[in-house]
Amino acid sequence: MREPRKDDNRPKKRHIFLRIDSWIDSTVWNAGFKLSQWWEDTTIFFRRFRVTGWKKVVFEVLGEGMTWGTVGSVLMLALALPAFEETKGNWRAQSDFAVTFLDRYGNEIGHRGIIHEDSVPIDELPDHLIKAVLATEDRRFFDHYGIDFLGLARAMTENARAGGVVQGGSTLTQQLAKNLFLSNERTIERKIKEAFLAIWLESNLSKKEILRLYLDRAYMGGGTFGAAAAAQFYFGKAITDVNLAESAMLAGLFKAPARYAPHVNLPAARGRANEVLTNLVQGGLMTEGQVIAARLNPATVIDRAQVKAPDFFLDWAFDEVQRIARPFAQHSLIVRTTIDMGLQNAAEDSVESSLRQYGESFHVKQGALVMVENGGPVRAMVGGRDYGESQFNRATRALRQPGSSFKVYTYAAAMEKGMTPETIVVDAPITWRGWSPQNYGRSYAGRITILTAIAKSINTIPVRLAKDKLGTDLIVETAKNMGIETPLRADKTMPLGTSEVTVLDQATAYAVFPAGGLQSRRHGISQILNYDGDILYDFSRDEPPAKRILSEQANASMNSMLTQIPVIGTARKAALDNGIVTGGKTGTTQAYRDAWFVGFTGDYTTAVWFGNDDYTSTNNMTGGSLPAMTFKRLMDYAEQGIEHRQIPGITNPAPAPSKQPEVANAKPDENALPPLVRPRSLSADVTRLLRSVGETFEKAPALKAPEKNGGKVAVLGAADGGSAQKGLPNAASN
């Protein structure tokens, strides 16, 4: 017999594969058949519940409602998450602090914070004060759950009838949510967060707690926060002792504290108080007979000098205090700040005068400014036009595109790479990652120096440097090292200033140039003391020394270029009088939404911004116009009567202190802002002499005098626990 061939196994293998294929086909077919059968049975079952006629309409509406309700719930959850992120921190923390602020010379300038346990309980407040607040701010406070839809509908109806905003729809809880967690920025995002946070507050606090927090935290004008502080400031009495007329005046301050502050405009405050009394009657909380005495005898206030508190600065300084003093056991503190009230008043006047004189023609409504002295102390801060109208600090919190003022970081990185102001670059069309930037005049200059490129603010050059030489990561690193704390986007448009920064960022970073390339060490707090006089924190003692950011050569190259911009570049209106050398850079963003000038002398660095909160375009305002003019007005004032320091790397000598300007004999310029004249207290020579005497006393050895008893020796001096250690520091130390 023949042996079986190996090929005889092939039919068996084919048979196995055919069986597997048959099983798959039958299984899939059976599954499909059973599924269709199940679907048919299910359909037949649900046909029993089919409705017709008007019932069908009802069920369709309910079905659609359930579908859209599910979608809405998911959407609401997505919108609520960012709002609830605001509550993660210790939002009650600021109630742990009570801070008295002093200026650089030791003069009291304001207070922040409130001791939670010392605030007056709601049950101890006058009944007419509570009624006045609720009648004016939120009549349905005890009936809603954070959002009053009936009140909102009523406000919308009244506003539609009046053709403008005459009533607000925000509840008292929503206003508290804004005060605790949010800013006054008018955006849809903020309103959404405000609504969710109001519901969160209603869920976690009682109505009495919400009302007490509102009365303790609201800004009441005159630099005061809370009804208790306002009662002391305006009437010189405790909040528990105010009468109905005074309560009505206090309740009227919540809407617009700057406009109705009685120490500023008493007739307006009394008119507003009369409206509050009318609200009490209309709301059914009091009768006309009960309020008639308050109408006939309106409240009077204490006569106070018109001393404005630097509120925007104090808000920022209070945040700094909480950051620094959190580990301290004591939270009732005295804080010596770096602010100079003479420079602060001049800064506020410069911004307000610019907006008042040119705001309408340029279609600009807001401005911000930060002034830093060489060495880091913040001497002035303007966070907006009117603190009473909006407490949103545009100097520290508003993120705005810097435009061409950002180019200095690209050029600083280039100088660190070995380039010089005389390095030749090519101004020509360029395309990078599908983007082709254009110059302001849509023309090109060909081969030019870097000095010409920065002076004329040419756009293609920083883009070409970023593309071919530097890379965006190096530019971002340079900007951050110089002091930009806002996160930057390292995209292709970043070299032209499309990534947002703050005014404080710009002032901090530019202050590196007059500091010789060293870290500017910007700060607003000099010392923190307790009420026993113990120094808990001292900036010069507790902070590390300045680090080098730019090499001396790179910094000198930057200064040599930046000091030419007010001479031959885009910032000629920023050039100071009396030949004082000035450096800086202008910035104008797309569609003229933001205008900047950031400049410096050997003594001060100042960043100025103008724009609109709603990001609408200005009327062709550039950084070389109103910002540069405002910078000049403030710096002309600041440089009067002081000993000038030289900008590092600039070889020409610093000018000697000049005499007071002959304002009366000067030829008037209709287009120029009126100059500010700095009051003269001590000459530069006398100041130097007093400082040298003070240094001599500090270095002198302690005096020793023998005691009569036991031959013991008493050491007389600052080390003996005297005022030099426990008292407030003297003005000369700053």
Indicate which residues carry an active-site annotation: 137, 404
User: Whole-angstrom Cα distance, residue 554 to residue 191?
Assistant: 47
User: Whole-angstrom Cα distance, residue 725 to residue 345?
Assistant: 32
The full DSSP string for 379-414 is EEEE--S-TTT----TTTT--B--GGGGHHHHHHHH
How many residues does this entry show for the chain? 734
Q: What are the φ/ψ torsions at residue 713 (nearest 5 degrees)?
A: -110, 130
Residues in contact with 690: Cβ distance below 8 Å, sequence separation at least 6, in sequence order: 682, 732
Reported as type and span, the H/E element at residue 85 is: helix 54-85
Q: Is residue 453 within 8 Å of 427, Cβ to Cβ?
A: yes
The full DSSP string for 228-280 is HHHHHHHHSS-GGG--HHHHHHHHTTTT-HHHH-TTT-HHHHHHHHHHHHHHH
DSSP 536: E
Cα Rg of the chain, angstroms: 34
Reported as type and span, the H/E element at residue 160 is: helix 149-162
Reported as type and span, the H/E element at residue 598 is: strand 594-600
Torsion angle in degrees (nearest 10) through CA of 539, 540, 543, 545: 150
Burial of 675 (0-12, 13-18, 19+ CB in 10 A): middle
Residue closest to 606 by CA, chosen among 231, 298, 344, 411: 344
User: Whole-angstrom Cα distance, residue 698 to residue 688?
Assistant: 15
Burial of 62 (0-12, 13-18, 19+ CB in 10 A): exposed
Burial of 514 (0-12, 13-18, 19+ CB in 10 A): buried
Residue closest to 421 by CA, chosen among 601, 583, 532, 589: 583
Beta bridge partners of 530: 333
User: Whole-angstrom Cα distance, residue 467 to residue 470?
Assistant: 7
Q: Is residue 645 within 8 Å of 544, Cβ to Cβ?
A: no
* Amino acid letter for position 579: G
Q: 577: phi > 0 → left, psi -120 to 50 → alpha, else beta; which?
A: beta
Q: What are the φ/ψ torsions at residue 369 (nearest 5 degrees)?
A: -155, 140
